[in-house]
Amino acid sequence: MAEYQLYCFGESGNAYKAALTLELSGCDWDPIFVDYFNGEARSEAFHQINEMGEVPVMVHGDTTLSQSGVIQDYLIEQTGKFGGTSPKERREIWRWVLFDNHKLSSQAGVTRFLMNFIPEDKRPTEAIAFLQARLQSAYKTLNNHLTGREWMVGDALSVADISCCGYLYYPEEFGFNRADWPEIDAWLDRIAATPGWKHPYDLMKPAYPPQKS
């Protein structure tokens, strides 16, 4: 059994943040597939693992953690990687992880879900338009921040980058067009050029479309 286990599925950008941190840190880890679109995350059995009913969940010995930001913080402590070089940088990393959770990944995840993973006649078009407009503001903040920088914080890749990019490599449409945001576009290329980088669907098994169970 690998040292770390990660409950995840391919479509989850939040799980991708944990999986990519594990992978780039060189950790020995295995994915545990969660059959999300057949309702596994909402099951009583899964709620015993995570009362929030969400992936990712990481298990390391006696420690079970959820929330990608907590998992990333724990991995920084374990491996010493991707956590910045000073308390000031660490705070700045946290600031962007929280921005991502509050304004970027949270809204990108639900918008992509609504536009791709529910039947076309059930898609709430006004809510989708509203979320897409809110996301433009988040992309703008990110693009502005990256102007004149290679990485979100300091001079190296950190979990701030690995958090903010969580939903931005997926092929499914959700209103994010890389060509509209040249600084984000170049930064995504830089992250993807990091030795060991992998696309979400190469790290975690997709759960869509759901197989008959």
Q: Where are the alpha helices (DSSP H) in the chain?
A: 13-24, 44-49, 68-79, 87-99, 105-116, 125-146, 159-164, 182-192, 200-203
Q: Residue 81 and residue 90: Cα distance in Å, rounded? A: 12
Residue 59 within binding range of a second copy, rule CB under 8 A: no
Going residue by residue from 83 to 122, which x/- string records binding to a second copy, judged by CB under 8 A?
-----x--x--xx--xx-xxx-xx---x------------
Q: Hey, what amino acid is at 144?
A: N
Q: Residue 103 and residue 199: Cα distance in Å, rounded? A: 23
Question: How far apart are CB 81 and a second copy at their closest, in Å?
Answer: 18
Q: Which of 145, 165, 176, 181 binds a second copy (CB under 8 A)?
A: 145
Residue 149 within binding range of a second copy, rule CB under 8 A: no
Q: Which of 13, 69, 166, 200 binds a second copy (CB under 8 A)?
A: 69
Q: Which residues contact 100 (CB under 8 A, 6 or more apart)?
A: 160, 163, 164, 166
Nearer to a second copy, 33 or 74 (CB): 74
Question: How far apart are CB 63 and a second copy at their closest, in Å?
Answer: 8
Residue 173 within binding range of a second copy, rule CB under 8 A: no
